[in-house]
Amino acid sequence: MQNNDLKSHIEEEIDISEIFSKIWKNKFFIMSLSLIVTSISLLYVLAQPNIYVSKSILIPKDQGSQPSLGGAAAIAAMAGINLGGGRGDIDIATLFQNLLSDYSFNKPLIVKYNINQLLQPKTIEKDLVFAPNGIELYYFFQSFSTGKKKKSYEETIFETFRKLKNILSVSKDKKSGGITLSATFTDRFITKKLVEIYLMEMSNYIKKLDLKEIDDQVHYYEQELQRAKSLDLKENINQLLSTLVKKKVLSQAGEFYMVKQLTKPQVAYIKDKAGPKRALIVIVAFITSIILGIFIVLLKEFLKKDESFSIQNEDERYKFLNE
């Protein structure tokens, strides 16, 4: 039993040494492949401009507690009206995320602020920041993208919308409840501008919807007040109307609806880039290319052995049939 284990161990050592022998034999192929892949990745990352982030941190407004409204609250609840603090119970971050992913909301903004032109390479090239000698490579690769088929206006707007979905993001800190609206893009000036535009427009959009809803409710209860005969009912409806009017007045307070701006978006410092991580990309490409080269060498050796084994089996079969 011990002899079998020793024999197996010796065979394993022979196999491993044979593998290393094959790798060493093909070292120039592996080195050449690694050099090519690493060089291509280096040229690629040098041609990529720096990526910057601009963000604004928001805090949901504390609407405070409302006084007891008695029967008015019950009537409002039956009518589907919230007499609390407005939208304090709704996840504002989710509302913002839904708006960012809604084409019908984004399309008018793209047209209004001419964002499709704002994100064009010709517009942003003057503000791009590169690694040393990277700008020459950038223009070299850009030269291959000229002469593309012109797109329709609608296609351009939709393509801009898809770009914005990758540029803009909303996140929420579960512990503090703070909301971060951020833009990540190659132009550090445009990132700030996009955060300002979307914060204002999303706030105004939700505010407009809420004010319309409040106006509809006020109109409805004013009609009900005229038809009411009971003094108690009239008193409850008056409380309802008073609360709705207060909500409307409070909605006008502050720069943004439902949120307070803790920090304003800033133009990122030129050295404060978020990407690309050039050194990491090149290192990963180098290691991957070596692994790929070793795999190709071992695969070739395996195919050779498999082919020689098949030929040997054919020869033995031929001899057996002739005998």
- Please report whether residue 319 resides in a domain: no
Model confidence at 88, pLDDT cuts 50, 70, 90, reads very low
Number of C-beta neighbours around residue 280 at 10 A: 11
Among candidates 160, 176, 159, 197, which has minimal Cα distance to 93? 176
Separation between Cα atoms, residue 103 and residue 165, nearest integer Å: 10
Predicted confidence (pLDDT) at residue 317 exceeds the cutoff of 60:
no
Separation between Cα atoms, residue 257 and residue 202, nearest integer Å: 9
pLDDT tens-digit readout, 256-265:
988 999 999 9
Predicted confidence (pLDDT) at residue 1 exceeds the cutoff of 90:
no
| Long-range CB contacts for residues 59-63, cutoff 8 Å, separation at least 24 | 59/177, 59/178, 59/179, 59/259, 59/260, 59/262, 60/88, 60/92, 60/177, 60/179, 60/258, 60/259, 60/260, 61/88, 61/254, 61/258, 61/259, 61/260, 62/88, 63/88, 63/250
* β-pairing verdict for 259-263 and 168-172: unpaired
Whether the full predicted model's pTM is greater than 0.85, yes or no, is no
Residue 119, C-beta contacts closer than 8 angstroms, at least 6 positions apart: 160, 163, 185, 190
Residue 140, C-beta contacts closer than 8 angstroms, at least 6 positions apart: 47
- Least confident segment among 48-57, 110-119, 179-188, 226-235: 226-235
pLDDT of amino acid 161: 97
Peptide bond just before 276 cis, omega within 30 deg: yes
Q: When comparing pLDDT for 39 and 74, which is higher?
A: 39
- Please report whether residue 281 resides in a domain: no
- Please report whether residue 274 resides in a domain: no
Model confidence at 319, pLDDT cuts 50, 70, 90, reads low
pLDDT tens-digit readout, 184-207:
999 999 999 999 999 999 999 999
Q: Which amino acid is at 120?
A: Q
pLDDT tens-digit readout, 274-310:
999 999 999 999 999 999 999 999 888 888 765 554 5
Domain that holds residue 214: 52-263
- Please report whether residue 7 resides in a domain: no
pLDDT of amino acid 43: 93
pLDDT of amino acid 5: 53
Dihedral of alpha carbons 22, 25, 27, 33, sign: negative
Give the CA angle between residues 222, 204, 257 to the nearest 5°.
80
Q: When comparing pLDDT for 183 and 235, which is higher?
A: 183
Predicted confidence (pLDDT) at residue 96 exceeds the cutoff of 50:
yes
- Please report whether residue 127 resides in a domain: yes
pLDDT of amino acid 84: 47
- Please report whether residue 225 resides in a domain: yes
- Please report whether residue 272 resides in a domain: no
- Please report whether residue 39 resides in a domain: no
Predicted confidence (pLDDT) at residue 223 exceeds the cutoff of 90:
no
Counting the structural domains of the chain, the total is 1
Among candidates 60, 54, 59, which has minimal Cα distance to 85? 60
